[in-house]
Chain A
C-alpha cells in the first residue's frame, strides 16, 4: 500500500476523475483526506495492490490532468520542543502516534493520514506538516 497526494487543478476539479480511475483499473482506493472547492482540490488517497497496479493508477490520474506525488513525509516532530506529554495520541484518528519504550512520542508515518489534528492540539507547537 502507498499513499499519494493528488492536486486537482480547476480544469479537472468538476470531473469524476477518481471514480473513473477506479473503474478503469479495478483497483481499490481509499480517500483519507479531501479538501475540494470550486477552484481546486487536494485529496490524499491510499492505493491497495501491487507495484503494477500502483503504477497504473498514477499513470491514469496523471493523464487526466491530476498532479500526483507519492506521500513520503508524515507529521514532523521537532524533538527539542516536544515534551513527550502525549496529548496528540488519543486524538489521532489513524492511531499513528504512541509512546516508545523510553516514553518518547513516536509517529508511524505509514499510518498517518496527514489530517493535522495533532498539530492543533500540541501544547508545545512542536508538530508540523510539510505540504508538497
Chain B
C-alpha cells in the first residue's frame, strides 16, 4: 500500500460552509462584494479572494415574461365562484378556485391593448394604487352570485404572491434583422438590413452566470425579489442548462415588494411584460466558486440571431461577447451596427448594492438549497398536429406577366381574359420590376397615363420560395395587399399567391 505523505499532499485549500458564512453575517464580519468587483479582486490574488470574500451579490433587472401573481380576493356576500375576472380590464385566470386568480404579465388590456397589461396591474398594486375588479360566474348553490364589481388595493386582499415560472435567464441570444422590413419583436424594434442589435441580460453580474454549475442555487435559495426577500422554487420553464441557458422559477410576497423593482412594460408591436428585479447572493465556498464569480463580460458569449427569418431555429449571424454588446457597437458584415440592452444596468447595480446592504445589516441570511437546479435537461419543441404548408405548395405556378413596355390596353385584356386582379411586370429575364393591379389601370384611365412603367408599383411586396404560408399571410395583412409574387434568389418570378389561395389552406377553423 502506498502511503501518501500528508505534509506534501494536503496543501490546505480553503473551504467554507453556508453556516460559517451565516455566522460571519451574524457577527457583522461577512465580506460582501458585487459581481462586477469580483474579477479584479480574484485576479490579484485568487487564494486571498477565496479566503476573504464571503458573498458575491449578483443582480438583474429586465423584462421577464412568464411572470405573474396569485391573488386571493376574499369572499363577498353572497359569495361568488369566479369563472372569469378582470383587473383594470386585464383578464386574470380564475380556473383555480372561487376567488383565487392569476394575473399574468403578458396578458393585455381589452380596452388599451399593448399600452396596459398584467405587468402594469402588478406595478399599480405594488405602488398602492386602486385597481378595479370585475368578475363573472355561472352561479351555484354554494356560490349564487353571478357578477361582482369592486375596487381593491394590495393591502386589502388576503394573499398576493408573485410567482414567476421563468425568470433570470443565465444569458440570452442577441437579435438582429436581415430583412428589408422593420420588425417589432419581443427583442424590441429591429431595424432593417442588420442596422441594429438588441440584447437582453446583464452579462457578468447576471445571477446564474456566476454559478453556472448551480452548486448554490436551487429550491429554497433565498433571494432579492422585487425589493423584498423571495425564494427560488426550482428550475424555470425552458431551463436549458446543457446549452448554458438556465432559468429559475421564483416566489415572493407581493405585499412586501416595491414598485422600484417591479415595473410594467410595453413592447411596441408585441405586447406587455413586467420588469422584474432579482438579486442572488453567491456564497464563496471555495476557490471554484471564487473563480466562477470572477467571470468577465468578455468571457460570456452569445449568438446574434437573425429575426428576419421567422422560424423557430433562426440563423446565427455571428457569436458575440457581452463586452462587445455593451460597447454600443457590434460589427456585422464589416459594418458597425448600434447595440442596445433591454435590461437596466443601473437598476441591476442598485439591486446588488441593496442585497449587500441587507447582508451587512444582518437582515438577510443565506440558505442552502434543498435541491439544486438540474444540470442535464434540454428544451423540447412543440410539434403541432398539422404542418404549416410552404408557400410553394399554395402558389399559382403559371403566372401571367407583362413587360414594362407593354401597353395598358394589353394588360387590361390580360386581366379580363384570365380573371385575375394583378399582373407582375418583369424584364426579359423574368426578373420582377413591378406590379400592376386593376385599380392601377382604372387610375391610368382617369389620369390619362399611357405607359405601364408610369403606373406600375415598383416597390412590390414579395415572398420567397420556401417561406411558411403563415408568414406570408401576416405580410399580406400588414401591408394590406391582396397578393404577392413569389420570387427565387435571382428575383425571378416563380409564382403568385393571393389572400384567397391562403385562406383556402389556413381556413378559419381549428388547426
Which residues does A use to contact B, with CB under 8 Å? 83-92, 95, 98-99, 102-104, 117, 120-121, 123-125
Instruction: Flag whether B219 is at the interface (Cβ < 8 A).
Output: no
Known: A117-B189, A121-B188, A121-B189. A87 touches B338 (CB 8 A): no
Q: Which 10 A-B pairs have the closest CB atoms?
A: A103-B346, A90-B340, A90-B196, A123-B265, A90-B338, A89-B340, A84-B346, A121-B189, A103-B345, A85-B344
Among A87, A89, A98, A104, which residue has the most Cβ atoms of chain B within 10 A? A87
* Closest A residue to B347 using CB positions: A83
Does A84 lie within 8 Å of B347, measured CB to CB?
yes
B338: A residues at CB distance < 8 A: 89-92, 95
- A83, A90, A99: the one contacting B263 at CB < 8 Å is A83
A99: B residues at CB distance < 8 A: 328, 345
- A84, A92, A117: the one contacting B345 at CB < 8 Å is A84
Does B266 lie within 8 Å of A86, measured CB to CB?
no
A123: B residues at CB distance < 8 A: 63, 265-268, 273, 275, 342
Does B191 lie within 8 Å of A91, measured CB to CB?
yes
- B328, B342, B347: the one contacting A87 at CB < 8 Å is B342
Given A87-B189, A123-B63, 6 extra CB contacts under 8 A: A83-B346, A84-B346, A86-B342, A89-B338, A124-B263, A125-B115
A117: B residues at CB distance < 8 A: 189
Does B344 lie within 8 Å of A83, measured CB to CB?
yes
Instruction: Flag whether B422 is at the interface (Cβ < 8 A).
Output: no
Does B346 lie within 8 Å of A87, measured CB to CB?
no
- Shortest distance from the beta carbon of B360 to any chain A beta carbon, whole Å: 22
Known: A120-B268, A123-B63. A87 touches B340 (CB 8 A): yes
Does A86 lie within 8 Å of B268, measured CB to CB?
no
Which residues does B use to contact A, with CB under 8 Å? 61-63, 115, 188-189, 191, 196-198, 263, 265-268, 273, 275, 328, 337-347, 349
Does A88 lie within 8 Å of B266, measured CB to CB?
no
B343: A residues at CB distance < 8 A: 85
- Can you give 10 A-B contacts (C-beta < 8 A)? A84-B347, A86-B340, A91-B191, A91-B196, A99-B328, A103-B344, A103-B349, A123-B266, A124-B266, A125-B266
- Shortest distance from the beta carbon of B301 to any chain A beta carbon, whole Å: 19
Does B328 lie within 8 Å of A89, measured CB to CB?
yes
A89: B residues at CB distance < 8 A: 328, 338-340
Does B265 lie within 8 Å of A124, measured CB to CB?
yes
A104 to B266, CA, bound (A): 20
Does B344 lie within 8 Å of A84, measured CB to CB?
yes
* Prevailing SS type, chain A contact patch: loop
Does B341 lie within 8 Å of A86, measured CB to CB?
yes
* Closest B residue to A103 using CB positions: B346
- Shortest distance from the beta carbon of B356 to any chain A beta carbon, whole Å: 17
Among A85, A90, A99, A102, which residue has the most Cβ atoms of chain B within 10 A? A90
A88: B residues at CB distance < 8 A: 340
Does A98 lie within 8 Å of B328, measured CB to CB?
yes
- Shortest distance from the beta carbon of B108 to any chain A beta carbon, whole Å: 14
Does A83 lie within 8 Å of B61, measured CB to CB?
yes
A104: B residues at CB distance < 8 A: 346
A95 to B337, CA, bound (A): 11
A117 to B338, CA, bound (A): 15
* Closest A residue to B191 using CB positions: A91
A89 to B266, CA, bound (A): 16
A89 to B341, CA, bound (A): 8
* Closest A residue to B345 using CB positions: A103
* Closest B residue to A91 using CB positions: B189
- B62, B188, B328: the one contacting A91 at CB < 8 Å is B188
- Shortest distance from the beta carbon of A46 to any chain B beta carbon, whole Å: 21
* Closest B residue to A85 using CB positions: B344
A84 to B191, CA, bound (A): 21
* Closest B residue to A88 using CB positions: B340
Does B198 lie within 8 Å of A87, measured CB to CB?
yes
A130 to B196, CA, bound (A): 27
A69 to B212, CA, bound (A): 57
Among B265, B273, B338, B346, which residue has the most Cβ atoms of chain A within 10 A? B346
- Shortest distance from the beta carbon of B374 to any chain A beta carbon, whole Å: 31
Among A88, A91, A104, which residue has the most Cβ atoms of chain B within 10 A? A91
A92: B residues at CB distance < 8 A: 338
B345: A residues at CB distance < 8 A: 84, 86, 99, 103
A95: B residues at CB distance < 8 A: 338
* Closest B residue to A84 using CB positions: B346
* Closest A residue to B272 using CB positions: A123
Does B267 lie within 8 Å of A90, measured CB to CB?
no
Does A87 lie within 8 Å of B188, measured CB to CB?
yes
A88 to B349, CA, bound (A): 20
A63 to B61, CA, bound (A): 54
* Closest B residue to A81 using CB positions: B263
A88 to B328, CA, bound (A): 12
- Shortest distance from the beta carbon of A107 to any chain B beta carbon, whole Å: 14
A124: B residues at CB distance < 8 A: 263, 265-266
A111 to B486, CA, bound (A): 41
A81 to B171, CA, bound (A): 26
- A85, A98, A103, A125: the one contacting B342 at CB < 8 Å is A85
- Shortest distance from the beta carbon of B78 to any chain A beta carbon, whole Å: 41
B63: A residues at CB distance < 8 A: 85, 123
Does A91 lie within 8 Å of B340, measured CB to CB?
yes
B265: A residues at CB distance < 8 A: 123-124
A64 to B367, CA, bound (A): 75
A121 to B349, CA, bound (A): 24
- Shortest distance from the beta carbon of B37 to any chain A beta carbon, whole Å: 15
